[in-house]
Every structure is written in C-alpha cells, then in structure tokens.
Structure 1
C-alpha cells in the first residue's frame, strides 16, 4: 500500500525539480555547490529514466531522451569540472521536442493530431489541417526558444540564463497554449455555423 503512494510523490517531485532546473542550477552555482548539485541532478535524471516505462506514447521517448541528455551533460560537467555543460540542458530539451514534433510532420498523423484524437477520435478534415498547422507552430516555438536558450548558455550570464530558461520561456509557452486554445475555440465556432 505504501508503494502506491510513494510513486506519485516521486513523480511530482521529479517533475517539479525538472521544471525548476534553471533555478536549481543557478542556486547551486551561486553557493558553489557543484559537488552536491551534480549528484542531486544525476539521481533526479536517473529517477526520470526509471519512471519512463510507466508512460506511453510519444512523450515517453521525449522524457527518456531528455533525461539521457541531461545525464550526459551532468557527466561532462563532472568529468571536466565545468558547470557550463549544465546550461545546455534547456537547449537539449528544445532539440528533442523539435525532433519529436517536426518528425511527426513527416508521418501520416502529426503529434498534435494524435493528441487531439485521444479526445475526439473522428476529427473532421478541417481539424486535421488545423492540427498540422499547430504542430508547425510548435516547431517554430522550439526553434526560437532553443536558439534563445543556446544564446543565454553561450553568453555566460547566469542570471540572464536563469531568467530566460526558468521564467520567460515558460511564460511564452503558456501564452502560446492560451492563444492556441482561443484560436481553436474560434475555429470550432466557425465549423458549427
């Protein structure tokens, strides 16, 4: 019985820490804590890898590849005793997301359409076209966001890196989701008329 309660809490803690990666890195580096920071991040990433089989669909691959990329960056930081490797994790995540979303555009069913069909299996043709366009918009977002993340990592200003990767990029992602939801509601209204 205990195990049933332990897994969701580990999953929640792991997810929160992954979302807070920029702040955890910033804090760790501000207090010169690379020695405690790297083991903590490696355990967190190994936990994510261990939890991957519990997920299904395309997000399973995203979680696995992103966690492996993060683990690789932690190992490089440890081997070369350089924290800069850790700053490239958001770049890696954006690259993985771009590959998954962009790669799905070359299949018969883009990722956003697959997700939409979970709720509505019989999508009308207009909705299929719409989901393809939304997938393309997300690809553009990952290109822009990943480029900004790369620039902040190369620029070397830890506060700027933390601000972009820990706050602004999430705000832009939320804004994109909100705008897409509003547009989707308008498209549905037009279809029903």
Structure 2
C-alpha cells in the first residue's frame, strides 16, 4: 500500500532505476511470502518494468506497477471463468464448503464485478501514470484505489446479506 507514497516521495531524490530495483525486490518478497503463482507473474512483470526504467531512465516504468498488478489480477479472475471454480467461489468455499448452486451463481457474478473493477482501476492507474502529475498518481494509486476497493467489498457484503436473507425466507 505504501508503494505509491514511497515512489512519490522518492521522485527527484532517487534515480528511477533504483526505485525500479526496489520494486522488483518488493515484488519478489511478496511472491515468496504469498506463495501464489500470480504474484510470481507480478514479480516477472516488475522485472520487465525495472529493465524499462534502467533503459529509459525515467519514472514512468515505476509508475506502471499498479497497472501491472491490476492486469494480473484481472487475468487471474477472468481465467477462473474458463477454469472453474471462480476465484470468489474458491474464497467462499473456505467458509462454506457445501456452497449451494445459487451461491455458485452468485460468486460467478461477483467475480465478474471484480473483473470490471480491475479494468476500471487499471485504466485509472494507467491514466494517472501517463497523463497525471506525480501527486495525482500517488493520490489515486496510494489512497483512492484502496478506498474504492473497500467500498466495493462493503457493497458486496451488503448485497450478500440481502441475497442470503431472501434465500432463507424463500426456503422457510
């Protein structure tokens, strides 16, 4: 979460190449700790961004990291439509192993909503990286993106409670 703030505070004080190297180290550390394959994709993408930063010597490659993360998450969530269960269904089954068919349908819809979120969020990250100021980029990617993600989670939780309530009334 602190990555955009670190980049914003470092631009002009630290060469983008060194920021990019820090990015790769953080991405590899996250991949090691998380133990999930998609974080290794992110780390590989971070290495490509690092190479671009060393080649071009500007901060754009470093600022594209949030775009990369959203793209990888979009691919993971979208791919789960073709290789079920969906990502959200997998998460739901951690709490409710015997998820009913209506729950499976609902989790597929939520997975689609998250895909839409990653498209929007990645597009905003790209826009701010290419055309926004460093301050706008840091504000969106370091704060607003997380606020929007939290709002989406809260809205989904509210919808889920309403759907469950209707299902319980219908089965009673």
* TM-score normalized with structure 1 length: 0.81
- Give the corresponding residue for 2:6: 24
- Give the corresponding residue for 2:112: 136
Alignment gaps of 5+ in structure 1: 1-18
Of 12, 17, 25, 1:43 maps to 25
- Counterparts of 2:7 and 2:116 in 1: how far apart (Å)? 27
Please list, as runs of the form range in 1=range in 2, the aligned pairs for 1:180-191 lying within 5 A after superposition.
180-191=156-167
Deviations 1:43-98 (A, max 9, x none): 3233234435xx3xxxx122111122122212221232121111111111111011
CA root-mean-square deviation:
1.7
Are 2:16 and 2:59, in contact at CA under 8 Å, matched by a contact in 1?
yes
| Distance 1:142-1:38 versus aligned 2 partners, 3 A rule | closer
- Please give the secondary structure, in 2, of the residue aligned with 1:123: coil
Aligned-residue offset at 1:150: 0.8
Of 133, 146, 152, 1:170 maps to 146
- Give the corresponding residue for 1:13: none
Of 58, 82, 86, 1:106 maps to 82
Using CA pairs below 8 Å that are at least 6 residues apart, which structure has the higher relative contact order?
A: 2
- Counterparts of 1:38 and 1:92 in 2: how far apart (Å)? 13
| Distance 1:34-1:108 versus aligned 2 partners, 3 A rule | closer
Are 1:46 and 1:71, in contact at CA under 8 Å, matched by a contact in 2?
no
- Give the corresponding residue for 2:92: 116
- Counterparts of 2:104 and 2:85 in 1: how far apart (Å)? 9
- Counterparts of 1:175 and 1:166 in 2: how far apart (Å)? 15
* TM-score normalized with structure 2 length: 0.90
